[in-house]
Chain A
Amino acid sequence: MKDKSFENIRALAAADMPGQIAVLEAAICDANRDTVRTTSHQISGRATSFGCTDISALASELERSVEKTSLSYSVDSVNRIYNLSVL
């Protein structure tokens, strides 16, 4: 599915990623696990819809691990999501 309209919507989603990453980073700083979980869930879902499986898997892993591990480990996941999203 590579038509222009779909690519435009995908570009909008990509442009929205830095904002979502910033929300994640702020939530980690505030130790707000609920926001980390819901935001990573949103990122994962959206990435799935647009076929970005690597980002989806990372965000999904972040969502699952948020209750089990220290949030300091989440920083690495967020960085990796960011790096993939800017590629």
Chain B
Amino acid sequence: MRKRAKRSGDGAPGPQQKYDYVKHIEHIRNKFMCSEVPMGVIFVLFHKFVAHLGAPASLPLATGICIFLREKLMHDILVVDDNSINRQLAVYLLKKGGYEVYEAESGQQAFDFLKSQTPDVILLDIQLPEMDGLEVLKRIRSNSSTKDVTVIALTAYTMRGDKEKFETAGFDGYLPKPIEPRTFARQILEIYSS
């Protein structure tokens, strides 16, 4: 195999170093947070690219494909919002984006759903009746089967400091209302992929 002499400057080995696949695979997984992509998939991709292109060119290619795969791995979303119209709009936009979407109008309905299924993302309104979004989040995080699910706050609370408050509470991201139809699904994907 012909090896390229140029160093990529991105964790790729230099000309005198032997290719260390494991190091590269770990680099891709850690740097680009592709932990949901199976190790074997990254290994095969990287191995194939290295065989044809050499390691420096392989790194961005394999990384791009891993990110693509990771995005494809987000396929189901639970929308929790007591406002029927907002919920229907969110569900519509996400279904249009190709996702499997479930809906709940209260924290309790969400917990009932989570007993049988674990979605990739939960989109959680803050101002819910009976139990607010912060309390629902606490319970989601305290449950071993849902503690790692990406939970995004969807809220009309858009004062300065609210974003930090929700992130401190344990949300993975924050989407202020009103829903912007053109960018809604993309914003969720960006939070999920970050």
Which residue on chain B has the smallest CB distance to residue A14?
B85
Q: A26 in the interface, Cβ–Cβ < 8 Å?
A: no
Binding site for A on B (CB under 8 A): 84-86, 88-89, 92, 156, 177-181
How many cross-chain pairs have Cβ atoms below 8 Å apart between A and B?
33
Whether A5 lies near B85 (C-beta < 8 A) is no
User: A11 CB to closest chain B CB, in angstroms?
Assistant: 10
Which residue on chain B has the smallest CB distance to residue A51?
B181
Q: A46 in the interface, Cβ–Cβ < 8 Å?
A: yes
Contact of A48 among B84, B92, B178 (CB under 8 A): B178
Contact of B178 among A1, A6, A12, A49 (CB under 8 A): A49
Chain A interface residue count, Cβ-Cβ cutoff 8 angstroms: 16
Cα distance A63–B30 when bound, in Å?
46
User: B80 CB to closest chain A CB, in angstroms?
Assistant: 18
Whether A46 lies near B178 (C-beta < 8 A) is yes
Whether A13 lies near B85 (C-beta < 8 A) is yes
Which residue on chain A has the smallest CB distance to residue B182?
A1
Chain B residues, Cβ within 8 Å of A31: none
Whether B180 lies near A49 (C-beta < 8 A) is yes
User: A17 CB to closest chain B CB, in angstroms?
Assistant: 11
User: A24 CB to closest chain B CB, in angstroms?
Assistant: 16
User: A5 CB to closest chain B CB, in angstroms?
Assistant: 5
Counting chain B CB atoms within 10 Å of each CB, the highest count among A1, A9, A13 belongs to A9
Cα distance A68–B177 when bound, in Å?
24
Whether A12 lies near B156 (C-beta < 8 A) is no
Chain A residues, Cβ within 8 Å of B177: 45, 49
Cα distance A42–B85 when bound, in Å?
11
Chain A residues, Cβ within 8 Å of B84: 12
Chain A residues, Cβ within 8 Å of B88: 9, 12
Cα distance A35–B178 when bound, in Å?
18
Whether A49 lies near B156 (C-beta < 8 A) is no
Q: A33 in the interface, Cβ–Cβ < 8 Å?
A: no
Whether B92 lies near A5 (C-beta < 8 A) is yes
Whether B92 lies near A49 (C-beta < 8 A) is no
Cα distance A13–B84 when bound, in Å?
9
Cα distance A63–B182 when bound, in Å?
25
Which residue on chain B has the smallest CB distance to residue A6?
B92
Which residue on chain A has the smallest CB distance to residue B89?
A9
User: A64 CB to closest chain B CB, in angstroms?
Assistant: 13
Chain A residues, Cβ within 8 Å of B181: 1, 6, 49, 51
Which residue on chain A has the smallest CB distance to residue B91?
A9
Chain B residues, Cβ within 8 Å of A16: 85
Chain B residues, Cβ within 8 Å of A41: 156
Chain A residues, Cβ within 8 Å of B179: 49
Cα distance A44–B85 when bound, in Å?
14
